[in-house]
Amino acid sequence: MNKTVIGVLASGRGSNLQAIIDAIQAGRLDVKIGVVISDNPEANVLKRMVNYDIPSLCIDRRQFSSRQDFEAAIAEELNIRHVELVVLAGFMRILSRYFIDRFEGKIMNIHPSLLPSFPGENAQQQALEYGAKVSGCTVHFVDEGMDTGPIILQEAVPVLEDDTVEALADRIVHAEHILYPRALALYCEGRLTVAGRRVYITDKE
């Protein structure tokens, strides 16, 4: 069977992308990364890619007069690379209906909280300020809302008494590195079925 081609969009550090690459190299994930795109020319994720033979580039929002033109440029690049699944890995922009229509049901995101709690920015800080005793991470399909799409997998981590935002974020991102490759593997094995808000996972044959 042909490998699913994924396109990764990332704005920052790129540790989730690294976890995906590591999972591929370890034989735990059978996908091909067709392209890595960052919207941020300074992003560390682009520096990481120097070590790999994977096409990577920056598509800078500031070089486009409208959001639609920016998203069209990303979509074009993904299509050129025959991307079948768009993987948001720390991509810090909301995608509009225009983009989502082009990859309907084929965009995944990872978010650093147990959704629907603490959507949007600074999810770890929100959890601490709220006084939550448990937080975690969520992999979900992307719809037009802010972190509202159908949930694929979640992993909980404790919030400790002496946590700082950084300490909690580190604990959560460690869980993300295990969860995201697992969710991608389920997708590529054809084991995810979406029915309304629910994502059903079928057993391995």
Q: Which residues bind ligand GAR (CB under 6 A)?
A: 10, 12-16, 89-90, 110-112, 123, 173, 176
**177 vs 189, beta carbon nearer ligand GAR:** 177
Residue with tokens 């994930």: 29
Q: Which residue is nearest to ligand GAR (CB)?
A: 90
Cα torsion at 27, 85, 124, 96 (round to 10°)? 170
Q: Give min distance, CB of 1 to ligand GAR, in A.
A: 28
Work out how close the CB of 119 gets to ligand GAR at its nearest, in angstroms, rounded to a whole number.
8
> Phi-psi bin for 70: left (phi > 0), alpha (psi -120 to 50), beta?
alpha
Q: How far is the CB of 64 from ligand GAR (least distance, A)?
A: 21
Nearer to ligand GAR, 81 or 171 (CB): 171
User: Cβ 75 to ligand GAR, closest distance in Å?
Assistant: 20
Q: What is the DSSP string of 162-182?
A: T--HHHHHHHHHHHHHHHHHH
Q: Which is nearer to ligand GAR, 165 or 185 (CB)?
A: 165
**Type of residue at 42:** E
The H or E element that residue 99 is part of is helix 97-102
- N- to C-terminal Cα separation, the chain: 15
Active site residue 82: no
d(CA 142, CA 161): 33
**Measured distance CA(88)–CA(141) in Å, rounded:** 10
Q: Which is nearer to ligand GAR, 50 or 195 (CB)?
A: 50
Give residue for tokens 């997708």. 187
Catalytic residue among 111, 140, 174, 177: 111
**Residues that are catalytic:** 111
